[in-house]
Amino acid sequence: MVVSWTPNGTMTPPPPRVRCVPTGEAASSPDRTHRFTTAESDIRHNGRVLIVLSLLGGLLLIAVIIAANGYFVAQEFAFMTVDRARLQDRAERGDRVAARMLRVTRRTSFMLSGAQLGITVTGLLVGYVAEPLVGRAVGELLGGVGVSPAVGIAIGTTGVLVISTFVQMLFGELFPKNLAIARPYPLARWLSASTVVYMRLAGWLIRFFDRASAGLLRLLRIEPVHDVEHAANPSDLQRIVTASRQAGELPTELSLLLDRVLDFPERDVEHALVPHSRVDVLTDTATLAEVRETMSSGHSRYPVLNEEGGIAGIVHLVDVLESIETDTSGGERPVTEFTRPATILPTLMSLPDAVAAMADSHGRMACVVDEYGGFAGIVTLEDLAEELVGELTDEHDTDEPPHLVTTLDNGTRWRVRGDAPLDEVERELAHTLPRGDYETVSGLVIAHHGALPEENTVVDITLPDDPAELAHTQHPPVRTLRATIIEIDQHVPAQLVLELSEDVAEDHLNESDQ
């Protein structure tokens, strides 16, 4: 470089160097600019493609994680709600899948620990994947329209978390849960193989958490339970039968039979006996001729009472016939000579114990005494059978109506015998009747009337609220049973007509309107 000095001693910069560019080189300069612009455009395009691929990959991965979450939720609810009795039955018939399902359900605690582990891990993975893959990709795309990278990433991350949470709740929690509750057996059957594989592969980790939770329970002096007890007590069975009948799963006749079977152990002899007022008896002073005349009414066994009303025994038709063949007294032979010892049962004895006592004595009829020792009536094997299968009639029952309860009109009126047990009437009405110190409809009417009613007397009885309805509304309908006495026998109602009416509370109507 050449530098020149001025007279005053200052330095003068050299003139600019001018490079001579050949004509061909100068002409190619726009092509280089075009190539640079094209390369930059390709880079940007490839970057957007990578961003879109990252976004799609993240969304796909989130979908897979949510599907896995739904799998574990369905696994948990399906195996908890599946009918184990059905599995046991199918497994005993040789169904291998049912046997595999049964093995899973017998390790309830272990299965639940595994399902919860899967649900927890998949829930965490959604948040872990959402920000780096989807949130950043959305932020980069928003940056292309002028949004700053930080704001774009924040918007993308927040948006994907909100959307993924909604999708996870819907498809990863609620949908599989409701599906498992609605279709437990087919879903558990479909999941059984993969569940067994999962429990084997992750067994070591599941076992760690399962034992840790069991240890915490033991610290609180609570013994952990590894399986859920599915046994049902009589009350549970009663609710199952009632619900099945209302849902149409059980025929009415079968459900009534099951009701009676479940009620049988809770009943006592007083519930099944024929009361003293309706029993034909013989005194211990009767003769063979009087016994023969009495037996012409059609019964084959009669209780024999002494002068004080105590039980002296039972006379049987077979013994009477044998006595007639060998009688030389002209029919004056006393009944006490061919009276058998009576099986005596207390009114408070349970029906199963009564069946056992009559079986031990090989008798078909027993005499019943009350708590004061007085003769209360008789009970026969037929009476005990009626407690299970309902009323039985034979050729000797022609004087009585064929049914204890007869439905009239559209099912809101019934003709009822006064001696009909309350539980039989409840089954026909499908409603609970008030309880008290009585066993029959006649006793119910007398108790609410407060006196012995006459024919055409009308007694209104308010029925108790149904506990099942109280669970759904604070104002259940008020039900009134109107009893009209149409026949009196021995001062008590013998035939009645019952009519059921319902009054919806006004407060309940106002709530419905609102």
**Residue-wise over 282-298: b if at least 16 C-beta within 10 A, else e?**
bebebebeebbebbeee
514 or 150: which carries more pLDDT confidence? Answer: 150
Q: Model confidence over 372-418: pLDDT tens digits?
A: 889 999 999 999 998 888 877 665 555 555 578 888 877 778 999 99
Residues of the chain with CATH 3.30.465.10: 405-513
CB 189 within 8 A of CB 167: no
Q: What is the percent of the chain where pLDDT is above 70?
A: 80
Segment (H or E) for 39 = helix 29-81
Q: Hey, how many other C-beta atoms are within 10 angstroms of the C-beta on 452?
A: 12
Could you say which architecture CATH assigns to the domain 405-513?
2-Layer Sandwich (3.30)
Residue with tokens 């003709």: 415
pLDDT given at position 395: 56
Measured between alpha carbons, how far apart are the two ends of the chain, in Å? Answer: 100
pLDDT at 264 over 50: yes
Please name the amino acid found at residue 3.
Answer: V
Spatial CB neighbours of 158, under 8 Å, sequence gap ≥ 6: 135
CATH code for the domain defined by 267-389: 3.10.580.10
pLDDT in tens, 48-57: 667 677 777 7
Q: Which of 172, 30, 175 is nearest to 115 (CA)?
A: 172
Return d(Cα 237, Cα 260) in angstroms, integer.
12
**CB distance 177 to 74 below 8 Å:** yes
d(CA 346, CA 97): 54
> Beta partners for 407?
414
Confirm whether pTM is higher than 0.95: no
CA–CA dist 101, 90 (Å, integer): 10
H or E element that contains 315: strand 311-316
Q: Is the pLDDT of residue 458 over 90?
A: yes
- What percent of the chain clears pLDDT 90, i.e. is strictly above it? 25
Contact present, 81 and 185 (Cβ < 8 Å): no
CA distance 409 to 331: 54
DSSP string, 235-272: HHHHHHHHHHHHTTSS-HHHHHHHHHHHHGGG-BHHHH
- 441: nearest Cα among 498, 499, 377, 387: 498
The answer to whether 202 touches 68, Cβ cutoff 8 Å, is no
Q: Please list the alpha-helical segments (H only) found in 390-489.
A: 422-429, 441-449, 467-470
How many whole angstroms separate alpha carbon 381 and alpha carbon 441? 23
- Report the pLDDT value the prediction gives residue 490, as an integer from 0 to 100: 86
**What's the gap between Cα 93 and its chain centre?**
26
* pLDDT given at position 226: 66
Q: What angle do CA 76, 78, 83 make, to 5 degrees?
A: 130
> What CA–CA distance (Å, rounded) separates 376 from 189?
59
Angle between helices 203-219 and 108-129 (to 10 degrees): 110
The tokens describing 513, both together, are: 């309107």
Domain with CATH 3.10.580.10 in the chain: 267-389
Quick one: which H or E segment has residue 450? none
Calpha distance 444→417 (Å, rounded): 12
pLDDT in tens, 39-73: 555 555 555 667 677 777 777 888 888 899 999 99
Q: Provide the token pair at 156.
A: 């993308």
pLDDT score of 194 more than 50:
yes
Q: What does pLDDT average to over the chain?
A: 81
